Amino acid sequence: MSGVLSSSHPAAGAVAPATRTRDPRVAGGAPTRTSAARGGTGATRPRRGVLSRRAAFWLVAVTTSTLLAASSAPSPLYPVLQARFRFSSSTLTVVFAVYVLALLASLLTVGRLSDHVGRRPLLAAALLVDAAAMVVFLSADGVGALVVARVVQGVATGAAVGVVGAYLLDLQPADGSRLGSLVNSAAPTAGLGVGAAVTGLLVQYAPSPTHLVFAVFTGLFLVLAALVAVLPETVAPVPGAWSALRPRVSVPRAARRAFLGAVPTMVATWALGGLVLSVGGSLLGVVFGQTDHAVVGAVLGLFAAFGAVAAVLARDLGPAVTALSGSAALAAGTGMFAAALAAGSLPLFVVSAVVAGGGFGAAFLGALRSVTRLAQPHERAGLLSAVYVVSYLAFSVPAVVAGELIAELGLRATALWYAGLVGVLAVVSLLLASRAARRPATAARG
Q: Could you report the average pLDDT of every consecutive run of 10 residues in the chain (446 residues)?
A: 47 32 38 39 57 91 93 88 87 90 89 85 95 95 94 94 84 72 77 90 88 94 96 88 83 90 92 89 91 92 91 85 92 95 95 95 88 79 82 89 89 93 93 79 43
Predicted pLDDT of residue 209: 79
**pTM (2 decimals)?**
0.79
Cα-Cα end-to-end distance for the chain: 42
Phi, psi (degrees; rounded to nearest 5) at 373 = -70, -15
Closest CA to 299 of 66, 77, 76: 76
Sign of CA dihedral 3, 93, 75, 110: positive
Total residues belonging to the chain: 446
pLDDT reported for residue 170: 85
81 three-class SS: helix
Q: What is the model's pLDDT at position 143?
A: 93
71: left (phi over 0), alpha (psi -120 to 50) or beta: alpha
pLDDT of residue 440: 56
Q: How confident is the model at residue 5, as a pLDDT?
A: 55
Burial class (CB in 10 A: 0-12, 13-18, 19+), 16: exposed
Distances (CA, A) of 387 to 310, 321, 433: 20, 20, 17
Residues 374 and 254 sit within 8 Å (Cβ to Cβ): yes
Angle, CA 206 vertex, CA 218 and CA 286 arms, to 5°: 100
Please name the helix (run of DSSP H) or strand (run of DSSP E) that holds residue 114, with its range, or none: helix 114-117
Q: Would you say 400 and 93 are in contact if contact means Cβ atoms under 8 Å apart?
A: yes
- DSSP string for residues in 404-432: HHHHHH-HHHHHHHHHHHHHHHHHHHHHH
Strands 31-35 and 20-22, by their bridges, are: antiparallel
Question: Which pLDDT does position 178 carry in this prediction?
Answer: 66
Residue 152's pLDDT is what? 97
- Residue 31's DSSP bridge partners are 22
Q: Quick one: pLDDT at residue 89?
A: 84
From CA 166, how far away is CA 50, in angstroms rounded? 19
pLDDT of residue 146: 94
Answer positive or negative: Cα dihedral of 282, 287, 293, 299: negative
